[in-house]
């Protein structure tokens, strides 16, 4: 098992990815190298002069860029998206096994598991290849089996306001 820590930000609230990005900024300011891989985010963080200035401390990758929800796509489009997503996960594995970063963020990878694109075992194997790398995983729905290999889980939810 990895000696790096696995943190999960999950829930139905807004801010899971933002929390992960905040940690990425903090870690980069401490001279750590950060790789962010976004899944099922459409365009995600768009390529810009700003994101280019974050390098080499923070590198951001997207392997699947459709604006259409995965489950609303045709079977052919789902198959193509699944290949791109697996390419992203293979890249994550390479990053972990080569020690390319100190922090790897797998943004929305829980949704990749929930949609059946990869299995919990696939994600666990990926995380275990991390050696000393800290990993942050985000997504809305938690899988109980994923909880078993997390060191910390933070739930971000929507608050219902009441009149006091």
Could you give the percent of the chain with pLDDT greater than 70?
93
The predicted structure's pLDDT at residue 77: 87
The predicted structure's pLDDT at residue 37: 93
Helices (H), the chain: 16-29, 49-54, 75-98, 109-114, 120-128, 144-147
Q: What is the DSSP letter of 70?
A: G
Local structure of 72: helix, strand or coil: helix
Furthest C-alpha separation in the chain = 54
Could you give the percent of the chain with pLDDT greater than 90?
56
In which region does residue 7 sit, left (phi positive, over 0), alpha (psi from -120 to 50) or beta (all else)?
beta
Distance CA 1, CA 147 (A): 15
pLDDT (average), residues 127-138: 91
The predicted structure's pLDDT at residue 2: 47
pLDDT-derived band of residue 50, with 50, 70 and 90 as boundaries? confident
**Contact between 147 and 1 (Cβ < 8 Å):** no
Local structure of 4: helix, strand or coil: coil
**The domain at 6-155 falls in which architecture?**
3-Layer(aba) Sandwich (3.40)
- Give the tens place of pLDDT for each residue, 64-107: 767 777 778 888 988 988 999 999 999 999 999 999 999 999 99
For the ranges 25-29, 88-92, 103-107, 126-130, the lowest mean pLDDT is seen at 126-130
Domain boundary assignment for the chain? 6-155
Better pLDDT: 21 or 62: 21
Q: What is the DSSP letter of 71?
A: G
Helix axis angle, 120-128 relative to 75-98, nearest 10°?
20
**Contact between 134 and 106 (Cβ < 8 Å):** no
Average predicted confidence (pLDDT) for the chain: 88
pLDDT at position 1 over 50: no
Phi/psi of residue 5, nearest 5 degrees: -95, 145
Q: How many other C-beta atoms lie within 10 A of the C-beta of residue 45?
A: 16
CA torsion sign for 44, 49, 50, 54 is positive
The predicted structure's pLDDT at residue 47: 62
């Amino acid at each position: 098992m990895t000696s790096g820590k696995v943190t999960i930000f999950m829930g139905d609230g807004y801010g899971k990815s933002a929390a992960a990005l905040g940690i990425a900024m903090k870690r980069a300011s401490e001279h750590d190298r950060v790789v962010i891989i976004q899944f099922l985010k459409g365009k995600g963080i768009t390529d810009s002069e700003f994101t280019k200035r974050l390098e080499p401390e923070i590198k951001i990758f997207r392997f699947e860029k459709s604006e259409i929800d995965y489950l609303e796509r045709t079977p052919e489009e789902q198959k193509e998206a699944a290949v791109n997503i697996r390419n992203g996960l293979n890249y994550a594995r390479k990053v972990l096994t080569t020690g390319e970063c100190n922090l790897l963020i797998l943004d929305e990878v829980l949704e990749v598991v929930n949609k059946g694109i990869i299995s919990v075992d696939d994600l666990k194997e990926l995380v275990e290849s991390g050696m000393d790398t800290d990993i942050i995983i985000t997504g809305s729905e938690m899988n109980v089996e994923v909880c078993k290999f997390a060191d910390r889980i933070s739930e971000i939810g929507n608050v219902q306001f009441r009149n006091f």
